[in-house]
Chain A
Amino acid sequence: MTTDAGKAPAHVEQMSTRRGEAALRRDIEADRRSEYRLLYKTAIALAFVAAIAIVRQAFFS
């Protein structure tokens, strides 16, 4: 890959080196860990549902 100036960007040159490989490993690990956030996001969404159910039971049943 070359830019207009004919030189590859630094991040691309690093990509196939060992340093680049380590960065890619960290990226995979970061994305894997970020999936744990789905747990609290689901809990928040369920809290909305619970709040509606509670309001209905408490005031309109």
Chain B
Amino acid sequence: MTGGEWLGALQTALVVVLLVLCATGIVPVIAAAISFLAIPFHAFINHYRDARPYLPRVVVVVPAWNEGAVIGASIDRLMSLEYPGDSLRVYVVDDASTDSTPDVVREKERQYRGAVRHLRREQGGQGKAHTLNHGIAEAMSDDWMEALLIMDADVIYSPDSLHKMTRHLADPSVGAVSAYIREGSRDKNYLTRFIGLEYVLSQPAARRAQNVLGAQACLAGGAQLHSRANLEALGGKVDTSTLAEDTITTFETQLRGHKVVFEPHAVVLAEEPRTIDALWKQRLRWARGNVSVTARYASVWFRPWRAPSLGSFAFGVVWFSLWLLPVAMVLSSVGLVGLLLLQSPLATDVFRVLWIAAALTFVFTLALGAQLDGPLTVRAWRELLTFPGILSMLVMLTALFPRLIEVDLPGLFGARLSESALFWLTLAVYVWIPVSMLGAVLARRLERTRVGRVLSPALLYLVGYGSLLCAITFDSYIKEIRHADARWDKTVKTGRVTMS
């Protein structure tokens, strides 16, 4: 081979590698599209045919650390659920609170004699899982309890939610049932509206799809109902070794042969973070927990013969697409930039395929998700329209309608893009995803400054809420690689949730 031929072969090999990098970006898009296309099948593949009127004796375990502001109202609301009073008990596990929590709970003990119990842990601060285990052990210590509901102190259950969940436990093959956690702050801000939309997409949408696929990724921490048989199979406790006890419980339930069902009509309102910094801490905890889960179940992924539901190909793709989303996005950008710098004619075509697929999937998922919780999406219409980020939408428009962005739009101002301007514009578009994640990091930094109150939300509308979540997941990789201290940072709740 001549030198020129070697160079040609090397260039071809490089183009192939870059195309593979680009292709990683399409995997999460396809996974999201398939997941959402599974949703309509929930009309036929659901658990309602095996559900029966069933009202077991339920113990509600409420972990509480300094929840004095909210715990009294929470107990009152639990006591007014549409559920037989003689079949409902509430155990508040007070994790060495230093506020008015013990006094409030003792008062409720007197008010609802026999139905409410105050369990005190004098050595607190070990985290939610330890607190839950204290309550679970107490509930398991006698035969009264037939089902156990784990909830957070601040959430509000809609009156019919508990009996909508228990009906699935009439089928003994079901080990646990989860509900739809809905953002329910009465004084919403831009971030809680974004979170509300995210919850619509991830719960009544994606978890319906998981019902269809036959495997649930995670029971909601604030709304998980377990049968006694399932808790006994789990050893009567939840995992305390990671920050992802909810996910571990979900996986272990399914690995022991019990089904996990998501009930979209059981609605539970929760208070979510109002600042990027608080959201970052909460989600970093979740993301680092998912890193542990991914490693712990390494022998299960893509091995349906070991675990028919969790080991299925479809579930593996969905799990890894979310977990590795930032990596896929960055690799895809690297591939595109590489093709551009090699002056490969494929660059433009690959960019269009990737971003048109992303744009159409975004439109489909948002249009379907928006209909699954109409009232919430009506209130969050601004966040719905800008969910991918205004600048990301411009990138999508560039892929969908290139002439419009590159020729017609500058033409309106009498301008015409030069070759070099077009190159720099193209480069900017190709590196947009990693840049948008940096934009989300900047939004968090700005939030701490005086001007940040205005600039930070504006920046998030520009870069997109998804970029923020990707940046947090990326941070979780870094923290895990560095073995950074993993600790339980409780999200501060102030009782802002309302039923109306």
Interface residues of A (CB under 8 A from B): 1-4, 8-9, 11-12, 15-16, 20-21, 24-25, 27-29, 31-32, 34-39, 41-42, 44-46, 48-49, 52-53, 56, 60
Chain B residue numbers with a CB within 8 Å of A21 are: 53
Chain A residue numbers with a CB within 8 Å of B46 are: 32, 35
Are B360 and A52 within 8 A (Cβ)? Answer: yes
A42 to B52, CA, bound (A): 28
Nearest 9 Cβ contacts at the A-B interface = A1-B85, A24-B53, A32-B48, A45-B367, A45-B368, A42-B40, A41-B371, A60-B401, A48-B367
A32 to B50, CA, bound (A): 11
Are B367 and A1 within 8 A (Cβ)? Answer: no
Instruction: Answer yes or no: B226 CB below 8 A from chain A CBs.
Output: no
Instruction: Answer yes or no: B96 CB below 8 A from chain A CBs.
Output: no
Chain B residue numbers with a CB within 8 Å of A9 are: 80
Are A38 and B40 within 8 A (Cβ)? Answer: yes
Are A60 and B111 within 8 A (Cβ)? Answer: no
Residue of A nearest to B37 (CB): A42
A6 to B86, CA, bound (A): 13
Which of A1, A8, A35, A48 sits near B42, CB closer than 8 Å?
A35
A32 to B52, CA, bound (A): 12
Which of B39, B51, B55, B402 sits near A38, CB closer than 8 Å?
B39
Instruction: Answer yes or no: B363 CB below 8 A from chain A CBs.
Output: yes
Residue of A nearest to B46 (CB): A35
A57 to B437, CA, bound (A): 32
Min distance, Cβ A25 to any Cβ of chain B, angstroms: 6
A48 to B332, CA, bound (A): 27
Indicate the member of A3, A15, A21 with the most B CB atoms within 10 Å. A15
Chain A residue numbers with a CB within 8 Å of B363 are: 45, 48-49, 52
Which of A4, A38, A49 sits near B364, CB closer than 8 Å?
A49
A53 to B42, CA, bound (A): 27
Chain A residue numbers with a CB within 8 Å of B39 are: 38, 42
A3 to B115, CA, bound (A): 12
Which of B43, B83, B208 sits near A12, CB closer than 8 Å?
B83
Which chain B residues numbered 70 to 94 have a C-beta less than 8 Å away from chain A? 79-80, 82-88
Main secondary structure of the interface of A (DSSP, over half): helix
Are B364 and A24 within 8 A (Cβ)? Answer: no
25 contacting pairs across A/B (C-beta < 8 A):
A1-B84, A1-B112, A2-B85, A8-B85, A11-B82, A12-B83, A15-B163, A16-B84, A24-B53, A24-B167, A29-B48, A38-B208, A39-B40, A41-B40, A41-B372, A42-B37, A42-B39, A44-B368, A45-B365, A48-B363, A48-B367, A49-B363, A52-B400, A53-B360, A60-B404
Are B53 and A60 within 8 A (Cβ)? Answer: no
Interface residues of B (CB under 8 A from A): 36-37, 39-40, 42-43, 46, 48-49, 51-53, 55, 79-80, 82-88, 111-112, 115, 160, 163-164, 167, 208, 265, 359-360, 363-365, 367-368, 371-372, 400-404
Chain A residue numbers with a CB within 8 Å of B42 are: 35, 38
Min distance, Cβ B95 to any Cβ of chain A, angstroms: 26
Chain B residue numbers with a CB within 8 Å of A60 are: 400-404
Min distance, Cβ A61 to any Cβ of chain B, angstroms: 10
Known: A4-B111, A16-B84, A32-B48. 19 other contacts (CB 8 A): A1-B80, A1-B85, A2-B79, A9-B80, A15-B55, A15-B84, A24-B53, A24-B167, A28-B48, A31-B48, A39-B40, A45-B364, A45-B367, A45-B371, A49-B367, A52-B359, A52-B363, A52-B400, A60-B402
Which of B48, B79, B86, B360 sits near A49, CB closer than 8 Å?
B360
A46 to B360, CA, bound (A): 9
A29 to B36, CA, bound (A): 24
Which of A12, A27, A28, A41 sits near B85, CB closer than 8 Å?
A12
Indicate the member of A3, A28, A37, A56 with the most B CB atoms within 10 Å. A28
Are A38 and B43 within 8 A (Cβ)? Answer: yes
Chain B residue numbers with a CB within 8 Å of A52 are: 359-360, 363, 400
Chain A residue numbers with a CB within 8 Å of B80 are: 1, 3, 9
Chain B residue numbers with a CB within 8 Å of A41 are: 40, 368, 371-372
Known contacts A2-B112, A38-B40; decide if A44 and B86 are in contact (CB<8 Å): no
Min distance, Cβ A9 to any Cβ of chain B, angstroms: 7
Min distance, Cβ B60 to any Cβ of chain A, angstroms: 12
Are A24 and B163 within 8 A (Cβ)? Answer: yes
Which of A1, A25, A46, A53 sits near B88, CB closer than 8 Å?
A1
Min distance, Cβ B176 to any Cβ of chain A, angstroms: 19
Chain B residue numbers with a CB within 8 Å of A34 are: 265
A55 to B82, CA, bound (A): 50
